[in-house]
């Protein structure tokens, strides 16, 4: 997903408007990618029908669910610490039940129940509809587990309960799973094979959000550009589809066009794009619609062809540059961001220099950078030795983080003395007299509140900036308002 929430940060607990008649209390805490946050909204919706309202108070919860991330070892350690905390509370409130959801549930399966005995319930990412059954097992004193991965579950028929929402932006998931098998990545194992959601249910959810006053949606998937709807089923089975299904299939460019047309006043974002699957059609659809934000999160992971190959990324550095050139030619104002991994097995100083020079070429607007963390079961863990010393990984990481900061600042400076459209999302963290919102390019902009309010589209003249934030003054409503 676009942004991996910092592994060190506390997870977010989510609350929602109480449903009348519900008398049980659910605390749901989410870690990891945006997909997990979106999944928690589906879980809250399923459990609202089972009598649960959400709470943020651990002490009063009847059920505590933790939606977990396995992407790096540190993410898993954070979750383990939280489970210890829940168990300490549970000792004084034995009625409280604890469940693990998401990628760690899928990866560790019954290990949580059998060896560690720290949870009552283990539910993988495709099994949330089974929660009511699993909970009745738990209530009758048994442990419950469902980690079956599905061929076609997309939760397209569930209307998510919007949790911790500012009422302005919402996530809409469009694909689940991933077929790419990057050698470092645990996601294909924890989230299963790729499948796409029915476009009609996507449009319906977007229309519902618009009717509720939402102004911006982000279409979510591990690899949105490989979206392909042909009537259901796994992406890899498309070759067996009927001629009719093949002729009427809808790809990501088609979906994006449909969504942009359905709600021309809504901002449309999407995440994440895999370079190998991003086509010219998608870039052209982006340039055609004013309401599709001019921002692409385009993880590359490394600038070295040798490492890209070892990672099983399906493109070269040169092909990546070609894609970047096409984006810049068709949408000159487009912002681009990266994910990068330092210290993948066998990475040499020369490979690292290739990463730095690739960054120099692109000058990304933002970046999310990580030291390689070996994940059990992945191809890299099975075939390659984690041989780059920790301090070398860290030093290389610092070098790319520093370079990214320079590039981010270079990008924010381009906005100086310009007037940009900002969608107001919330109060600035640093000042209650200022609003904070984002430009189409996803850059944060902060400006005095005046008479404007959350959800307004405002033109802001930019007169100062840091590497991460634009500072300015509103000059009026934008035409989108
Ligand atoms: N396609 C997904 C990727 C999810 S993982 C998406 O939607 O973004 C997000 C990022 O975590 C990856 O792009 C990669 O940079 C990083 N990552 C994944 N596995 C990792 C590992 N084993 N060690 C370090 N970083 C990793
Ligand atoms: Fe992971 Fe690569 Fe898919 S990073 S989520 S296997 S595109």
**Looking at the domain assignment, is residue 449 inside a domain?**
yes
Domain boundary among 87, 118, 146: 146
Q: Supply the range of the domain harboring residue 76.
A: 12-146
**Looking at the domain assignment, is residue 58 inside a domain?**
yes
* Residue 185 Cβ < 6 Å to ligand 1: yes
Residue 19, pLDDT score: 67
* CA nearest ligand 2 atom 1, residue: 185
**Which ligand has the nearest atom to the CA of 32?**
1
Domain boundary among 146, 162, 180: 146
Q: What are the φ and ψ backbone dihedral angles of 253, each rounded to 5 degrees? A: -60, -40
- Closest by Cα among 127, 102, 109 to 46: 127
Cα-to-centroid distance, 274 and ligand 2 (Å): 8
**Digits of tens for pLDDT over the chain (481 positions)?**
433 333 434 466 655 566 667 789 999 999 999 999 999 999 999 999 999 999 999 989 999 999 999 999 999 999 999 999 998 888 888 889 999 999 999 999 988 887 767 899 999 999 999 999 999 999 998 889 999 999 999 999 999 998 878 899 999 999 999 999 999 999 999 999 999 999 999 999 999 999 999 999 999 999 999 999 999 999 999 999 999 999 999 999 999 999 999 999 999 999 999 999 999 999 999 999 999 999 999 999 999 999 999 999 999 999 999 999 999 999 999 999 999 999 999 999 999 999 999 999 999 999 999 999 999 999 999 999 999 999 999 999 999 999 999 999 999 999 999 999 999 999 999 999 999 999 999 999 999 999 999 999 999 999 999 999 999 999 999 988 8
Residue 164, pLDDT score: 72
* Residue 334 Cβ < 6 Å to ligand 1: no
Cα-to-centroid distance, 388 and ligand 2 (Å): 22
**Looking at the domain assignment, is residue 424 inside a domain?**
yes
* Residue 379 Cβ < 6 Å to ligand 1: no
Cα-to-centroid distance, 185 and ligand 1 (Å): 6
* CA nearest ligand 1 atom 2, residue: 222
**Which ligand has the nearest atom to the CA of 381?**
1
Nearest ligand 2 atom to the CA of 191 is 5
Cα-to-centroid distance, 48 and ligand 2 (Å): 32
Place of tokens 């991003």: 278
Nearest ligand 2 atom to the CA of 181 is 6
**Which ligand has the nearest atom to the CA of 341?**
1
Pocket residues: Cβ below 6 A from ligand 2:
178, 180-182, 185, 187-188, 222-223, 274
**Looking at the domain assignment, is residue 324 inside a domain?**
no
- pTM, two decimal places: 0.94
Cα-to-centroid distance, 359 and ligand 1 (Å): 18
**Looking at the domain assignment, is residue 307 inside a domain?**
no
Task: Ligand 1 pocket test: pick from 4, 221, 310, 393 the residue with the most ligand atoms within 8 Å of its Cβ.
Answer: 4
Rounded CA-CA distance 98/109 in Å is 15
| Structural domain total, the chain | 2
**Looking at the domain assignment, is residue 233 inside a domain?**
no
CATH number where 49 lies:
3.40.50.2300
Distance between terminal CA atoms of the chain?
29
Domain boundary among 114, 146, 178: 146
* Residue 187 Cβ < 6 Å to ligand 1: yes
Q: Are 385 and 341 in contact (CB under 8 A)?
A: no
**Looking at the domain assignment, is residue 306 inside a domain?**
no
Question: What region, left, alpha or beta, does residue 76 occupy, with left being phi > 0 and alpha being psi -120 to 50 degrees?
Answer: alpha
CATH number where 425 lies:
2.40.50.140
Nearest ligand 1 atom to the CA of 297 is 8
Cα-to-centroid distance, 180 and ligand 2 (Å): 6
**Looking at the domain assignment, is residue 107 inside a domain?**
yes
């Amino acid at each position: 997903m676009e942004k991996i929430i910092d592994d060190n940060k506390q997870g977010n607990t989510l609350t929602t408007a109480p449903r009348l008649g519900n008398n049980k209390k659910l605390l749901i805490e989410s870690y990891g990618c945006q997909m997990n946050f979106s999944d928690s909204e589906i879980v809250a919706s399923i459990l609202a029908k089972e009598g649960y309202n959400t709470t943020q108070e651990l002490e009063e919860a009847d059920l505590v669910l933790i939606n977990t991330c396995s992407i790096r070892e540190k993410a898993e350690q954070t979750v383990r610490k939280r489970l210890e905390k829940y168990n300490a509370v549970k000792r004084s409130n034995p009625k409280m039940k604890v469940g693990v959801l998401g990628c760690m549930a899928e990866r560790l399966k019954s290990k949580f129940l059998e060896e560690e005995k720290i949870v009552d319930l283990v539910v993988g990412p495709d099994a949330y509809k089974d929660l009511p059954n699993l909970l009745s097992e738990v209530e009758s004193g048994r442990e419950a587990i469902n980690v079956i991965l599905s061929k076609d579950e997309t939760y397209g028929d569930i209307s998510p309960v919007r949790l911790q929402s500012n009422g302005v932006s919402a996530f809409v998931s469009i694909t689940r799973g991933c077929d790419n098998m990057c050698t470092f990545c645990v996601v294909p194992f924890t989230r299963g094979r790729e499948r796409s959601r029915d476009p009609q249910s996507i449009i319906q959810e977007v229309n519902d959000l618009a009717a509720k006053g939402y102004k911006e949606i982000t279409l979510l998937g591990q690899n949105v550009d490989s979206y392909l709807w042909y009537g259901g089923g796994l992406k890899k089975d498309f070759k067996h589809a009927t001629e009719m299904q093949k002729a009427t299939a809808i790809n990501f460019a088609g979906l994006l066009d449909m969504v942009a047309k359905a709600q021309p006043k809504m901002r449309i974002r999407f995440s994440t794009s895999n370079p190998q699957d991003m086509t010219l059609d998608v870039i052209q659809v982006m340039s055609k619609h004013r309401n599709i934000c001019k921002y692409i999160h385009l993880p590359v992971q490394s600038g070295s062809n040798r490492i890209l190959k070892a990672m099983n990324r399906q493109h070269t550095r040169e092909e990546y540059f070609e894609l970047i050139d096409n984006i810049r030619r068709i949408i000159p104002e487009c912002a681009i961001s990266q994910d990068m991994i330092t210290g993948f097995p066998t990475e040499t100083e020369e490979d690292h220099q290739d990463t730095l020079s690739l960054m120099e070429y692109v000058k990304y607007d933002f970046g999310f950078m990580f030291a390689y963390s070996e994940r059990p079961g992945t191809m890299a863990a099975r075939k390659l030795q984690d041989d780059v010393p920790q301090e070398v990984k860290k030093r290389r990481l610092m070098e790319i983080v520093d370079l990214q900061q320079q590039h981010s600042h270079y990008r924010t400076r381009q906005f100086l003395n310009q007037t940009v459209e900002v969608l107001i999302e919330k109060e600035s963290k640093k000042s209650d007299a200022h609003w904070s919102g984002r430009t189409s390019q996803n850059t944060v902009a902060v400006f005095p509140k005046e008479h404007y309010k959350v959800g307004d589209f405002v033109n802001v003249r930019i007169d100062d900036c840091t590497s991460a934030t634009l500072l300015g003054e509103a000059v009026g409503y934008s035409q989108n308002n």
